[in-house]
Amino acid sequence: MKFPTLVPIVGKGFSAQFFIRFLYSCIVDADFLDTERALNSEKSNLRKQKYCLKALSRKLEQYIERLCNGAQDTFVNRKRKNILLNCNEKANELPGLFTLTVPTGGGKTLSSLSFALKHAVKYGKERVIYVIPYTSIIEQNAAVFRKILGDENVLEHHSNFSYPQDNYREERAESATDIMQIIKLATENWDMPIIATTNVQFFESLFAARSSRCRKLHNLVNSVIVIDEAQMLPSEFLKPCLSSIMELITNYKSTIVLCTATQPNISKLIPEGVKTIEIIDDPAELYQDFKRVSVKNLGTISDDELEEQLALQEQVLCIVNSKKHARLLYERINGEGAYHLSTRMCPAHRTDILEQVKGRLKAGITCRVVSTQLIEAGVDIDFPVVYRSMAGIDSIAQSAGRCNREGLRPEGKVYVFMPGEKHGIPRGWLNRTATLGKRIIENHEDPLGLEGVKEYFSSLYDIDDSQLDKNNILKEIRELEAYWSFQFRAIEEKFKLIQDNTCSIIIPGMITV
């Protein structure tokens, strides 16, 4: 067997253990598939579906063309069209590392998908993988992808996903069962053209040791991988995450797109041999084009003062940093048109609340919402006024994306405040990001501009290296490279983006027959 020549872009040890894991993936998947072929040919035959990325790219083109033809000729829509044109043009660039810096509301979901498919077709890539921080965003994006490209071509893989038998009730039962089975089988090894998954599922698999997690890895090779909301990569694991990205680009023929409105300043953490290409011609000009809000710092205010200010607004969103603060503040304003959102609610309950909120906003009637950060990203909602408890600039920018989203008002108002009560003050890493956010807001006339964002991330990452690899994963790999004895199980235990300190519960609900 001839082994490929690896370029140790991060280090010999990291490249070696990465390759061993990918080789293990190939062996494990081949073993499972051979066993399945011998013992369950019916199941095995379901895996033989054929797909053509060129045909999927044409489907997307036709969908976008219909969308553009039916859209109003507004300034925002013209800018969205320019973003799409930039994405289509840059898809011709050689594979590598790309950034896509698009303000909230710029239509980056469809534009980035267009880039990914066109780039995949031109350079013979095998699939497109979307990596997204929140399941709420995945659910929305995957629904859009399925609508455009077909259910059988899109895998939605995350902890909250349930197989969509309800979607197929009116279809022929045999066909519905086949589609469900194809989706289930694809979760095992990601053999699908379009995949939407979480940061947790994607990056933890790259540092995994178990066959069930590693089996999919070889299907990351020769892919286009879009990392949406790239600023959400966890800081304490940033260096291991970036190291894996560099490996995929350099040694596994993958193209990576870091997609966000607030591009993290990671230039000092990227090896010199990796060139970064920005897809948008002029991100600074585009930011000004999409600027729809003004940001005002209110300083420190108590819950009593905040309650009074919220009561003066007919339609307002207030985002705070803790579930306790959200609950206590909601109890103060509770009344007609008042709503509360947090991760203590069931997903179905949150969805129902959001639908009610959107209905009231559209009708122009009283609507006051207190929420945790869950509403910041991926929720298509538009308030005239937003209050945001002090946080990192990336979080404040996401909050501002819920204000005057469609640009229907001359200017939306975003008020940033420091909580006066102890229960509203963030702790740990959130306290650090809030402190830096406060400094940027005080020192920049437009804290959400590209210069403010750049300074924020430069300050955020200008800390001891150990804080960007808190469990010393890269250090351990370097120490073991001389012995070629990598502790894969220990690495898997150390690389956990979310600590496994919860348990699953079953919530009784309505059963539809």
Supply 329's token pair.
């503040």
Q: How far is CA 402 from CA 258, 292, 328, 362, 413, in A?
A: 22, 10, 22, 14, 11
* Residue ranges of the chain that CATH labels 3.40.50.300: 12-286, 292-445
| Structure confidence at residue 170 (pLDDT) | 40
pLDDT at 3 (0 to 100): 53
Q: What is the pLDDT of residue 376?
A: 82
Burial label for 500, CB within 10 Å (0-12, 13-18, 19+), is exposed
Q: How confident is the model at residue 512 (pLDDT cuts 50, 70, 90)?
A: very low
Average pLDDT over residues 446-470: 86
**385 DSSP β-pair partners:** 413
pLDDT above 60: residue 22: yes
Backbone angles phi, psi at 418, to 5 degrees: -100, 120
Who contacts 451 (Cβ-Cβ below 8 Å, separation ≥6)? 444
Secondary structure in 3-state letters for 420-436? CCHHHCCCHHHHHHHHH
Q: Strand order of the sheet with strand 194-198? A: 154-157, 194-198, 127-132, 223-228, 255-260, 97-101, 276-278
pLDDT band at residue 4 using 50, 70 and 90 as cut-offs: low
Average pLDDT for the chain: 88
pLDDT (0 to 100) of residue 351? 83
Residue 282 has pLDDT above 90, yes or no: yes
Neighbours of 84 (CB within 10 A): 20
pLDDT score at 10: 86
Model pLDDT for residues 216-270, shown as the tens digit of each residue = 999 999 999 999 989 888 889 999 999 999 999 999 999 999 999 888 888 888 9
Mean pLDDT of 296-316: 95
Q: Stretch 160-184: mean pLDDT, rounded? A: 56
- The per-residue pLDDT for range 469-509, each reduced to its tens digit, is 989 999 999 998 888 889 999 999 999 987 655 566 665 65
**What are the tokens at 364?**
């122009």
Give the model confidence (pLDDT) of 381-433 as tens digits: 899 999 999 999 999 998 998 999 877 888 999 999 999 999 988 888 788 89
d(CA 454, CA 440): 10
List alpha helices for 334-485, DSSP H: 347-363, 393-400, 428-443, 450-461, 473-480
- Determine the pLDDT at residue 504: 61
Give the least confident one: 6-10, 324-328, 367-371: 6-10
Q: For the chain, give the percent of residues with pLDDT over 70.
A: 91
Fold designation for 292-445: Rossmann fold (3.40.50)
Q: Residues for the chain: how many in total?
A: 513
Phi and psi at residue 262, in whole multiples of 5°?
Answer: -125, 85
pLDDT of residue 298: 96
pTM of full prediction above 0.75: yes
Averaged over 338-367, what is the pLDDT? 90
More confident residue, 44 or 138: 44
Residue 445 pLDDT more than 70? yes
Q: How many CB atoms lie within 10 A of CB 452?
A: 22
pLDDT in tens, 53-109: 999 999 999 999 999 888 888 888 899 999 999 999 999 999 999 999 998 878 899
CA proximity to 56, closest of 148, 140, 138, 131: 148
The answer, yes or no, to whether residue 2 has pLDDT greater than 80, is no
Overall CATH class of domain 12-286:
alpha beta
* pLDDT band, residue 211 (cuts 50/70/90): very high
41 pLDDT band, cuts 50/70/90, is: confident
171 against 379, higher pLDDT: 379
